[in-house]
Amino acid sequence: MSRRALTLLLAGVMALGLAIAGAVEKVPYVALTPGPAFNTLGEASGTPVLTITGAKTYKTTGSLDLTTVSVQDHISLFQAMQGWLSSGEAVVPREIVYPPDQSTAQAEQETVKQMAQSHDDATVAALHELGIPSTVTVKDVSKTAPANGKLEVGDVLTTVDGKKVQDSDSLKSLISSRRPGTAVTIGFLRKGVAGSVVLTTISSGGDAPRAIVGVTPDEESAVKVDIELKDVGGPSAGLMFALGIIDKLGPENLTGGKNVAGTGTISGDGQVGAIGGIAQKMRGAKAQGATVFLAPAENCADAAANKPSGLTLVKVSTLHGALAALATLRSGGTPPSC
């Protein structure tokens, strides 16, 4: 065999070896791809996403789609390279999705908790926006906090230093307006009997310490909202859940018959927060027929840079603002964009 032929043979063997290694060698990255979208006004796997009792509901048209991102774990070097070159995928370090101090199961369980919290926050925000009254109750009491032994799970919290507790946020605000170490008088109802207790606040600690008494509040209303959506985690569906609840409970058809998609976390007071994977979520929404996409203001730069053609991008920072933007669209106007 000539030297040239031997060189070519060795090069071919090396190339084959590299190809095999690239196909099987796993890298510490995950691929993010567009996931399915779910209509909060409709069903998923034959079950309504939103079930509301305790109030009249209205027929809806169009759709309010929450969007998702699919995560492909244990990818090979070649798969990572393909993702880096693809405009529809993102390849990110695995530790961003699965923190190194957590197992995969623990990380996934955390996203389940985040989704459950988004259910609660979306319900609270929607009912507040509609002016539907609720009561603030004690969900949990810390065993090492001032409220331990003084307040009980199920107590209805009515006042803080004589000021009415409107909701969970007002409770926190009224208590945290004090300096840690000062006393507050909490009014409550326990099994229908009124009472009050004086508690000395303590510091919450952390980067932004505030006065607390050690209770976890919950809000209860005659209107009950059950959200059923399997195999979806994280907090980013909060905005679309809240809009779906409002659409079902109000006579106004929010979408005007359009296919509206979106994303964004939500707090009990209706603030819309940033999320991850905006590019993949917009592509997933467009693939399922969306013509309008609601994007958190904090994600606007990425959203504008990756917007699919034919998709109207709407910037939102609050639930109230999202409702105003949808009203503008229904009237034929132009809502705020990124």
Delimit the CATH 2.30.42.10 region(s) of the chain.
135-220
Length of the chain: 338
pLDDT in tens, 187-241: 999 999 999 999 999 999 888 889 999 999 988 898 999 999 888 888 999 999 9
Find out if CATH 3.30.230 is the number for domain 33-70+108-131+222-330.
Answer: yes
Tokens 């925000």 correspond to 125
Please tell me the distance from the alpha carbon of residue 138 to that of residue 216, in angstroms, as a whole number: 6
The DSSP line for 70-115 is EEE-S-BHHHHHHHHH-SS-EEEEHHHHS-TTS-HHHHHHHHHHHH
pLDDT at residue 309 above 80? Answer: yes
pLDDT at residue 15 above 60? Answer: no
Q: What is the pLDDT of residue 10?
A: 45
pLDDT in tens, 250-281: 999 999 999 999 999 999 889 999 999 999 99
Q: Which CATH class is domain 135-220?
A: mainly beta
pLDDT at residue 292 above 50? Answer: yes
Provide the phi-psi class of 128: left if phi over 0, else alpha when psi is between -120 and 50, else beta: alpha
pLDDT at residue 20 above 60? Answer: no
pLDDT in tens, 30-49: 888 899 999 999 999 899 99
C-beta separation of 171 from 217 below 8 A:
yes
Beta strand 215-220 with 224-227 is unpaired
Its pTM stands at 0.79
Delimit the CATH 3.30.230 region(s) of the chain.
33-70+108-131+222-330
Return the amino acid letter for 227: I
pLDDT at residue 9 above 60? Answer: no
Between 89 and 282, the more confident residue is 282
**What SS3 state is found at 286?**
helix
- Reported as a pLDDT band with limits 50, 70 and 90, residue 294 is very high
pLDDT at residue 130 above 90? Answer: yes
Q: What is the pLDDT of residue 160?
A: 96
The DSSP line for 19-39 is HHHHHH-B-SEEEEEEEEEEE
Q: What is the mean pLDDT of the chain?
A: 88
Return the amino acid letter for 147: A
What is the percent of the chain with per-residue pLDDT over 70, rounded to a whole number?
91
